[in-house]
């Protein structure tokens, strides 16, 4: 089953039309998750209609660049219409069109749960690659891999220990915050983990290549984020 193809088609379109969220309900949660962090340049992988990005655009003080990527064209159009404070590109988690280490924060919310286990390393590796410091995952949790039926599909949604997947793949990541969000917080019974790249060789290499982090690399010009076509 090609999940990405399904999300790009009518299934993803239907999800977009029913996925109407008041971004204001999530501001408090994002404020708690990111309180005190030096985040100016951020990316959401799988932003759908852009609810989270809009919430963050009203929360992050003087953000330089707030970016989302989304594979479904209808969702992409809705996100672009929703706010001129964010930028949204057509792309998937498996091939992020950005340079290495160019975002202070890269995050997902209810996206990794829809990625099959064999493809998960590719997605989280791309997220790790483009983050210069922080990675945030807001996803369903289970201690063991647990498949759940979803909208007529048997292999389309999984609860997992996503913290374990990140930490096993990248030894320099360290957990700095975590928690749980319920419906009263604007989220659907989700666990969240905020990870930071360690001050070992991998993060140091990021800063050395890009010259002191994402803020300087990205500046105010969106095109500087983009990866050269292969």
Query: What's the CA gap between 54 and 186, in Å, rounded?
Result: 14
Residue 230 lies in a domain: no
Rounded to whole angstroms, the maximal C-alpha distance in the chain is 49
Query: What's the CA gap between 29 and 55, in Å, rounded?
Result: 10
**What's the pLDDT at 3?**
85
- Mean pLDDT of each 10-residue bin along the chain, 230 residues long: 88 93 95 94 97 93 85 96 93 96 97 97 98 98 96 92 98 97 95 88 49 38 59
**What's the pLDDT at 2?**
85
- Of 36, 25, 34, 24, the C-alpha closest to 194 is 34
CATH number at residue 216: 3.40.50.150
Residue 155 lies in a domain: yes
* Domain total in the chain: 1
Residue 58 lies in a domain: yes
Query: What's the CA gap between 161 and 172, in Å, rounded?
Result: 18
Q: Which domain holds residue 70?
A: 3-225
């Amino acid at each position: 089953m090609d999940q990405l193809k399904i999300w790009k088609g009518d299934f993803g379109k239907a999800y977009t039309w029913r996925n109407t969220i008041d971004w204001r309900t999530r501001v408090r949660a994002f404020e708690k998750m990111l309180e005190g962090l030096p985040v100016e340049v951020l990316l959401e992988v799988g932003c759908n209609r852009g609810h989270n990005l809009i919430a963050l655009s009203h929360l992050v003080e003087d953000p330089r660049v707030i970016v989302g990527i989304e594979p479904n064209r209808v969702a992409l159009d809705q996100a672009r219409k929703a706010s001129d404070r964010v930028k949204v590109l057509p792309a998937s988690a498996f091939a992020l069109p950005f340079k290495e280490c160019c975002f202070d924060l890269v995050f997902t919310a209810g996206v990794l749960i829809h990625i099959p286990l064999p493809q998960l390393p590719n997605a989280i590796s791309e997220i790790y690659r483009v983050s210069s410091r922080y990675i945030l995952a807001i996803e369903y949790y289970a201690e063991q891999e647990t498949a759940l039926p979803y909208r007529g599909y048997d292999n389309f949604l999984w609860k997992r220990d996503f913290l374990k997947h990140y930490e096993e793949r990248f030894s320099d990541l360290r957990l700095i915050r975590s928690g749980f969000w319920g419906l009263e917080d604007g989220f659907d019974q989700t666990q969240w983990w905020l990870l930071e790249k360690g001050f070992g060789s991998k993060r140091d290499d990021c800063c050395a290549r890009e010259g002191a982090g994402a803020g300087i690399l990205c500046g105010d010009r969106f095109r500087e984020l983009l990866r050269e076509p292969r």
